[in-house]
Amino acid sequence: MLTSGQTGSIWHESPRLRDRIVRNVCKSLRNAYGRPRLGNPIDPMDDLVFIVLSNKTSPRIARRTYADLRARFCSWDALLHAPISEVRRILKPAGLSSIKSRQLRAALRSIKSHMGSCDLRPLRRKSAGEIEAFLVRLPGVSEKVAKCVSLYTMNVKVLPVDVHVHRVSRRLGWTTRKRADQCHEELESLVPPALRYAFHVDCVLHGRRICRPHEPLCTKCCIRCWCEYFKGNRRNA
């Protein structure tokens, strides 16, 4: 039965068929892209900084800016005590440097206040709910950012929904919601926990390479046989 939180066409299918479709899509994406880390650090504090820098900038610029930060500061505690103007200068290539520098410093202060140092590894001893609740209270940390840090560095089986995951899911008919931040609960209820990491990272690569915002390369798509967007275009051709 459909609920108000389930908006995509896939929810009209029987649970058994729905599960089979989801698993087939996940398998096809995994066969095409594997289980990459996409450059994300393995330490949760490092990853939080990396993801904050990645917001609204290209992966290449985010990686370079993160490398510049690590080269300049021997620790995140050192960044906390550096002049804000210096942090802003390093972050300038990534865009929104005034906002990101303030948010990053405020997040580091909060983490140090609670943890004793700029270190998020103690969170690994907490439950998934406690981890996310702590992270989303930090300045500049959205639900998506918190889920990314949890997924990449704490082995929490959540499903972050970024613009790529959202676009792929909409075209598949898994959701009709207009914003990525509206889809976390819906898509987590659809994709089994064991498949969420691969689905997330594979959708990021698929969205960059094939399922692009404009002029998607549908003829090269490994999941087009399950895609409502492709079927609709083919019917209207």
Q: What is the CATH number of the domain that holds 64?
A: 1.10.340.30
| b/e code 154-177 from CB counts within 10 Å (16+ = b) | bebebbbbbebbbbbbbbbbbbeb
Are 185 and 203 in the same domain? yes
- Do 191 and 168 fall into the same domain? yes
Position 55 scores a pLDDT of 85
Task: Based on the fold, state whether residues 111 and 138 are members of the same structural domain.
Answer: yes
In angstroms, the CA 166 to CA 187 distance is: 9
212 located within any domain: yes
Closest by CA to 218, choosing from 230, 235, 202, 228, is: 230
What digits encode the pLDDT tens for the residues 171-203? 999 999 999 999 999 999 999 999 999 999 999
User: pLDDT tens digits for 69-80?
Assistant: 999 999 999 999
What is the pLDDT confidence band of residue 2, given thresholds at 50, 70 and 90? very low
- For residues 63 and 148, membership in a common domain is answered with yes
Instruction: Give per-residue pLDDT as tens, 119-132.
Output: 999 999 999 999 99
Q: Does residue 31 form part of some domain?
A: yes
Confidence of residue 135 (pLDDT cuts 50, 70, 90): very high
- Show which of 135, 153, 171 is a domain's final residue: 153
Domain boundary among 99, 129, 153: 153
Is pLDDT above 70 for 1? no
pLDDT attached to residue 5:
60
Q: Which residues of 113-139 are buried (b: 16+ CB within 10 A; e: fewer)?
A: eeeeebbbeebeeeeeeebbebbeebe
Q: Please check whether residue 137 lies inside any domain of the structure.
A: yes
pLDDT of residue 195: 98
Q: Which domain holds residue 23?
A: 9-36+159-236
- Considering the chain, what is the average pLDDT of its residues? 94
Per the structure, the count of domains in the chain is: 2
Which CATH number belongs to the domain containing residue 29 in this structure? Answer: 1.10.1670.10
- In a domain, residue 189? The reply is yes
3 within a domain of the structure (yes/no) = no
